Structures are given as C-alpha cells and as structure tokens.
Structure 1
C-alpha cells in the first residue's frame, strides 16, 4: 500500500502519488482499486537514484528534476 511504500522510500504518500501520476515514481500495480508496490521495485527505484558524487550527471539530473517539481507545487 502507498503509506507503507512511502515510509520505505522516505517520502510522503502524497509525494509518491504525485510521482505515480507523472510517471516518475517506482513501478506499481493497481489491483481491485488498491495501489500496490513490490519491495524489489521500490529498492530498484531508490538504487537508480544513487550517486557517488554531486558532480555526476545523474545527480545533476535528479537535482534539476527536484527543483522543477518544487516549482510546480
């Protein structure tokens, strides 16, 4: 469920819902009206955001996306 998944990745349920609507969040399944996340999918999503340095291209892309998201809110 979304609240449990949000706790695991350190986000609010609302943020996770927003990411889901925009297609930028972890893979999910909708079964019987409930949104479900597999633990492996959550871990893979978190791992894709991992960086070793702030000079990495992936870090800069994540930072830019975060700033753009905040401006919309």
Structure 2
C-alpha cells in the first residue's frame, strides 16, 4: 500500500489489523467522535487516513520493549 495514499476508514482498519494486529472501522469511527484516535482528514463527508498517521498513532500506543513483567513496576 502506498504510504501517501489516502485510505477510507475500512481500508485504514485493515491496514492497522494487518500491520499491528488491532483496529476496526467501528473503533476508528468512535475515536473520531470521542478523540484519541489517529489523525484523519475529510474528503467531503468521508474521513480518510494516511498510513504514516496510522503508524504514528499505533506506535504511540505500543509500550516500550521489556524482558519481564516485573520491569513494568520499576520506576
């Protein structure tokens, strides 16, 4: 998929699922209303997403690398 290609919500959800294992059209729609989702633009009334914006959002949600769950409690 071309990274500078605008994707409709359904394709954006597929992209997120294939690349990061998470995402659905319904979740993206909800986050577009409530906030906290990836950056999107409007093409008329249709929300569209860029791959780099989806990547940035997904990577920000992923925690740092750890070797043990005990590292989560460390300061």
TM norm structure 1: 0.68
Runs of 4+ aligned structure 1 residues displaced above 3 Å come to none
| Pairing of 1:41-56 with structure 2 (within 5 A) | 41-51=53-63, 52-53=65-66, 55=72
Of Structure 1 and Structure 2, the greater helix share is in 1
Q: TM-score, normalised by structure 2?
A: 0.67
- Structure whose alpha-carbon radius of gyration is higher: 2
- The structure 1 residue matched to 2:38, chosen from 14, 21, 26, is 26
| Greater length-normalized contact order (CA 8 Å, ≥ 6 residues apart) | 2
Structure 2's unaligned 5+ residue stretches are 1-7, 18-22
What RMSD over aligned residues (CA atoms) do the two structures have, in Å?
1.5
